[in-house]
């Protein structure tokens, strides 16, 4: 049974040890980083850099603590994510969200290069076939997966599985394009965008958010570059009037997240990946959206373990006990105390990703929760 270490976000005593950074430091000591990471070993600290306007990511303060913890056991960490908007622009997003070499104390790099083409094909499974895993993640022997727990429009819940699946896989592959990238999870079939002229209000939000400038409007019609499109789905997600749809299947999406995460894990030896889930600033949507909403539930704390399923199950078990926050989307949607907040918000059976991860044998839902004193 996995041991999951937990530190609450509440402060008992007004001293550093009881702060969130102080508790993270103590959690990492409890988890005993030296048993996972060797001297001089490269370790990827995988996080999400956020996006233009989405600032509720894992804060650089915490990344710094993790990097410092790794350096203390002699390892050589670097902080990383994969290209979600064109590479150098994405590094700039990281920078203004506070993540840079100076703040985290180690290099901040793109795991799949500045164009997102540095990746290797890895066998995934029955849904995805093969998937393009970012080269730096493929090659690095060890990793700490730092995940900001939140809601997600298509998966209902987003944590470590989604961070690994979407975040360690490139948007596109040099030869087989989006079909071997994360678009293969977002879209089904040819994944061609469907525009509904009747519903479109010509707000142009889809055009603004597209990272590749695929979309434009002329003569009252939407046009898009189907060849160039990554099938990231952002345009459809921001459409306020259901005027744009990326053909997809929620169940397949969640199962494919687990499948991609499992594929990424095949590039590591056992016990070389540690998971840190941050149940903080838990907002309704993904950090790749163009804005971050106010949290729908209070900060809960930080979980650390070496089992990807256990960290997700423990996170979900905590979210299920949380109360909806007033003046948030949860209140707007009439969520009551005792409700499953994420289910009420997104109406997605988000447990599917956990069940699929168990079926694929990458972890266990059974865990022992060890509270930090």
Q: Are 373 and 7 in contact (CB under 8 A)?
A: no
Question: Under DSSP, is residue 54 helix (H, G, I), strand (E, B) or coil?
Answer: strand
Q: How far is the CB of 229 from ligand SF4 (least distance, A)?
A: 3
Please identify, using beta-carbon distances, which residue of 16 and 202 lies nearer to ligand SF4. Answer: 202
The yes or no reply on residue 194 touching ligand SF4 (CB under 6 A) is no
The yes or no reply on residue 243 touching ligand SF4 (CB under 6 A) is yes
Q: How far is the CB of 171 from ligand SF4 (least distance, A)?
A: 8
The yes or no reply on residue 214 touching ligand SF4 (CB under 6 A) is yes
Tell me the residue ranges of DSSP E strands in 162-202. Answer: 194-195
Please identify, using beta-carbon distances, which residue of 176 and 325 lies nearer to ligand SF4. Answer: 176
The yes or no reply on residue 179 touching ligand SF4 (CB under 6 A) is no
CA distances from 347 to 119, 153, 169, 180, 323 (A): 34, 9, 26, 28, 17
The yes or no reply on residue 233 touching ligand SF4 (CB under 6 A) is yes
Q: Which one among 224, 253, 350, 367 touches ligand SF4, defined by CB under 6 A?
A: 224
Q: Which tokens hold the place of 105? A: 């104390």
With 0-12 / 13-18 / 19 or more C-beta atoms within 10 angstroms meaning exposed / middle / buried, residue 336 is exposed
The yes or no reply on residue 235 touching ligand SF4 (CB under 6 A) is yes
Torsion angle (degrees, nearest 10) of CA 55, 56, 60, 65: 180
Q: How far is the CB of 273 from ligand SF4 (least distance, A)?
A: 29
Q: Which one among 73, 114, 176, 212 touches ligand SF4, defined by CB under 6 A?
A: 212
Residues constituting the chain: 373
Interacting residues of 321 by C-beta distance below 8 A, sequence separation 6+:
none
Choices 32-40, 232-240, 265-273, 312-320; region in contact with ligand SF4 by CB under 6 A: 232-240
Tell me the C-alpha distance between 141 and 41, whole Å. Answer: 7
Query: How far from each other are the two terminal CA atoms of the chain, in whole angstroms?
Result: 21
The yes or no reply on residue 239 touching ligand SF4 (CB under 6 A) is yes
The yes or no reply on residue 5 touching ligand SF4 (CB under 6 A) is no
The yes or no reply on residue 244 touching ligand SF4 (CB under 6 A) is yes
The yes or no reply on residue 331 touching ligand SF4 (CB under 6 A) is no
Q: How far is the CB of 172 from ligand SF4 (least distance, A)?
A: 9
Please identify, using beta-carbon distances, which residue of 104 and 244 lies nearer to ligand SF4. Answer: 244
The yes or no reply on residue 85 touching ligand SF4 (CB under 6 A) is no
Backbone angles phi, psi at 260, to 5 degrees: -65, -40
CA distances from 283 to 80, 298, 313, 350 (A): 22, 10, 18, 16
CA distances from 250 to 58, 72, 171, 344 (A): 26, 42, 19, 16
Choices 20-28, 88-96, 209-217, 283-291; region in contact with ligand SF4 by CB under 6 A: 209-217
Q: Which tokens hold the place of 259? A: 């499948």
Please identify, using beta-carbon distances, which residue of 17 and 225 lies nearer to ligand SF4. Answer: 225
Closest CA to 303 of 71, 132, 89, 58: 58
Please identify, using beta-carbon distances, which residue of 5 and 230 lies nearer to ligand SF4. Answer: 230
Q: How far is the CB of 174 from ligand SF4 (least distance, A)?
A: 17
Q: How far is the CB of 176 from ligand SF4 (least distance, A)?
A: 16
The yes or no reply on residue 216 touching ligand SF4 (CB under 6 A) is no
Q: Are 60 and 104 in contact (CB under 8 A)?
A: yes
Q: Are 173 and 272 in contact (CB under 8 A)?
A: no
Residue numbers of the site for ligand SF4 (CB under 6 A)?
195, 200-206, 209-210, 212, 214-215, 224, 229-235, 239, 241, 243-244, 246
């Amino acid at each position: 049974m996995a041991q999951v270490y937990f530190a609450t976000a509440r402060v008992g005593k007004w001293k550093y040890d009881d702060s969130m950074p102080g508790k993270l430091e103590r959690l990492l000591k409890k988890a005993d980083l030296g048993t996972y990471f060797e001297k001089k070993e490269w370790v990827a600290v995988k996080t999400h850099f956020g996006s233009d306007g989405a600032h509720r990511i894992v804060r650089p303060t915490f990344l710094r603590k993790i990097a410092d913890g790794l350096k203390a056991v002699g390892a050589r960490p670097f902080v990383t994510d994969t290209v979600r908007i064109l590479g150098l622009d994405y590094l700039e997003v990281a920078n203004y969200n506070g993540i840079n070499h100076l703040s985290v104390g180690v290099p901040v790099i793109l795991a799949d290069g500045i164009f997102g083409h540095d990746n290797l094909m890895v066998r995934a499974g029955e849904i995805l076939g093969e998937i393009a895993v970012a080269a730096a993640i493929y090659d690095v022997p060890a990793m700490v997966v730092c995940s900001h727990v939140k809601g997600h429009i298509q998966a209902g819940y987003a944590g470590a599985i989604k961070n690994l699946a979407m975040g360690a896989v490139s948007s596109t592959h040099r030869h087989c394009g989006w079909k071997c990238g994360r678009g293969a999870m977002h879209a089904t079939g040819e994944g061609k965008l469907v525009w509904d002229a009747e519903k479109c209000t010509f707000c142009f939000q889809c055009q603004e958010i597209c990272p590749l400038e695929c979309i434009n409007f002329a003569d009252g019609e939407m046009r898009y570059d189907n060849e160039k499109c990554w099938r990231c789905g952002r345009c459809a997600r921001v459409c306020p009037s259901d005027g744009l749809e990326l053909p997809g299947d929620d169940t397949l999406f969640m199962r494919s997240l687990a499948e991609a995460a499992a594929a990424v894990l095949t590039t590591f030896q056992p016990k070389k990946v540690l998971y840190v889930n941050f149940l903080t600033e838990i907002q309704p949507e993904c950090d790749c959206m163009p804005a971050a909403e106010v949290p729908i539930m209070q900060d809960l704390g930080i979980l650390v373990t070496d089992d990807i399923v256990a960290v997700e199950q423990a996170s979900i078990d905590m979210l299920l006990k949380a109360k909806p926050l007033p003046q948030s989307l949860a209140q707007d949607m009439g969520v009551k105390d005792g409700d499953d907040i994420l289910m009420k918000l997104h109406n997605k059976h988000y447990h599917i990703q956990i069940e699929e991860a168990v079926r694929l044998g990458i972890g266990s839902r059974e865990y022992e929760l060890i509270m930090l004193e």
